[in-house]
Amino acid sequence: LSYLDCIPKCFAKHIAKDNFLTKVRIQRMFADSVRTFQEHTVDKGRLGMQKTMFKYISTLERLVPSFGVESFYVSHLNLREAWEESGSLHTHAPCEDRAAATHEIMVNGNKGIWWRISIQTVTTQPHKDTPHKWNVFCDFPEITHIVISEANVCISTQDNHCMEVQMSSSQEARSFISLLDGYYRLTADAHHYLCHDVAPPRVLLNKANGLHGPMHIYFALQKLKKEAAEDKAFLICWSPVNYDRLILHSVFTCHCFVQNGQAQDHKQFQIQHKDSKFCLDGWNREFSSVKELTDSLKSLVLISGSESLTIKKCCLPRHGELSNLLVLRAPLQPLSNKTQVQVRHIKETEIVQGRHLGCGTKTNIHKGSLQVRSTEDGDQENEFNNNSSGLDIPVVLKIPHQNLEVSLAFIETVGIMGQLSHSHLVRVHGLSVLKHIMVEEWVKFGPLDVFLHREKASVSAHWKLIVAMQLASALRYLVSF
């Protein structure tokens, strides 16, 4: 299989015009790239189909400017409010080719749904005011539902706007709404569908049984800690490695040598899905649905090693919850826009100032504590590592110098830093409005450069390599933010 068969046709035509030596050089570079990827990325030199596809798509997204953009030509388009009477789309004959189309719809993975009057309409009606420019309709998270009737499609949004279009055929209409449905699950809600007619079978299965997608264990544990006010909570998600298996995550209270005498632990149990049947590993009994399986497990005791536990409360998927199943897209507007920056305000009564640690360019740095009090709705728990009771969190307080005028840029910087969420980046909890005190996460061993200078004799090369990989991960997150 030639590499020319794996790239877009426009690239292949461009390469075909090059001379022989250039073609040989490109072919060798392609072979070396595949060989390097196979040796350093895939275990034991085996390049699987899924990894090849992932590498191809991730590379293609950077090479092709219009990657992730598709256009649809429609014979009729009508924009209206939700309470207005629907247009009579069935009276318009479906367009058989692009020349008969009156409008063009663009579906952009980063920008949402756009539309414009087609070029043919502008050229055939020059006397009319028909500007050939793109107009935004909505982004994917704004869609509430989609209705399809043969070749007619109606898209409704949260602000009560509707777009009615007529495609060339019912097959193209289903393809159009399938694309919107998929982008909605990637950007807004991984467990919901907009139109039942095009919903994938796996999504319908998850909806009926309360299953999560292939969720990472970190997000599974965070969800259990956040929503499980009581013991014996569990959730079931698909395995991110083996798509034919489910994983039952459960938290329980174990008695160990800690200060309060109790601690929460986590266990996993695998469920096999085969021939529309579900079977828990270690239990030779099959069930027709996951709900039937979990109902049976609630009356039994699960044993894992030396621990035994029971399950009671199932944590179901919630609308728009954050997980690794959602794609983080670039903002449509620059972050410097005032309307885009949100700063969490912290009361002065919640801050206790401690000893002085040093001075920065514009701030005095103190060690302190942030008082977190539990509330009935649990909002505070969600903000600070899901603590279930009031406690004091060690923090770093950055107080501007007295002769320094606090600018709007400083507040915007705090707001932007507060939106960052990465395991290897210091978290900004918020800002005390009256004295403009920035409240940051407390790091036990201090700044990395100071620690390396102080402990350079005892730090091994292996430890430095691990830190370098963590820094690379943080920088990659910042670039994509």
Task: Please write the tens of the pLDDT for every residue from 131-148.
Answer: 578 899 999 988 988 999
Inter-axis angle of helices 290-297 and 201-209, nearest 10: 30
Does CATH number 3.30.505.10 belong to domain 211-314? yes
Q: What is the mean pLDDT of residues 417-436?
A: 79
pLDDT for res 66: 67
CB 477 within 8 A of CB 422: yes
pLDDT confidence bin for 262, thresholds 50/70/90? low
Measured CA to CA in angstroms, residue 69 lies from 64, 110, 180, 328, 453 at distances of 10, 9, 12, 17, 50
Would you say the CATH fold of 211-314 matches that of 69-84+99-121+131-199?
A: no
Yes or no: domain 348-372+390-444 corresponds to CATH 3.30.1490.20: no
Higher pLDDT, 358 or 228: 358
Determine if the pTM surpasses 0.75. no
- Secondary structure element (H or E) that encloses residue 291, with its range: helix 290-297
Residue range 300-340, pLDDT digits in tens = 888 777 777 788 888 888 877 777 788 877 654 443 344 44
Confidence of residue 378 (pLDDT cuts 50, 70, 90): very low
Name the amino acid, one letter, at 434: L
Convert the pLDDT of each residue in 280-300 to its tens digit. Answer: 888 888 899 988 898 888 888
Band of the pLDDT at 344, cuts 50, 70, 90? Answer: confident
- Dihedral (C-alpha) 64, 65, 70, 76: value to the nearest 10 degrees? -150
Residues 195/298, Cβ–Cβ less than 8 Å: no
Question: 82 is written with which tokens?
Answer: 């939700």
Least confidently predicted of 23-32, 325-334, 407-416: 325-334
Give the residue-averaged pLDDT of 346-354.
83
**What does the pLDDT read at residue 41?**
56
Report the C-alpha gap between 240 and 217 in whole angstroms. 9
Rg (alpha carbons) of the chain, rounded to whole number: 28
| 121 pLDDT higher than 80 | no
pLDDT at 382 over 50: no
State yes or no: pLDDT of 201 exceeds 50. yes
List, in order, residues 6 or more apart from 134 with CB less than 8 Å away: 106, 114, 115, 116
Across the chain, mean pLDDT equals 77
Residue 275 has pLDDT above 90, yes or no: no
CA triple 471-477-481, angle to 5 deg: 145
- Nearest alpha-carbon partner for 477 in 421, 395, 434: 421
| Higher per-residue pLDDT: 88 or 110 | 110
Start-to-end Cα distance in the chain: 37
- pLDDT exceeds 90 at position 177: yes
Query: Could you tell me what percent of the chain has a pLDDT over 90?
Result: 11
What confidence score (pLDDT) does residue 265 get? 75
Torsion of CA 195, 196, 201, 206, to 10 degrees: 90
Higher pLDDT, 293 or 81: 293
Instruction: Provide mean pLDDT across the span 33-40.
Output: 68
Res. 480 pLDDT band, cuts 50 70 90:
low
pLDDT at 52: 65
Per-residue pLDDT at 91: 43
330 C-beta neighbours (distance < 10 Å), count: 8
Percent of all residues in the chain with a pLDDT value above 70, rounded to a whole number: 73
Average pLDDT over residues 414-435: 79
Domain extents in the chain: 3-63, 69-84+99-121+131-199, 211-314, 348-372+390-444
Q: How far apart are CA 308 and CA 301, in angstroms?
A: 7
pLDDT tens-digit map of 38-59: 665 555 555 566 666 666 666 6
Distance of CA 426 to the CA centre of its chain: 21
- Considering the domain 69-84+99-121+131-199 in this protein, what is its CATH number? 2.30.29.30
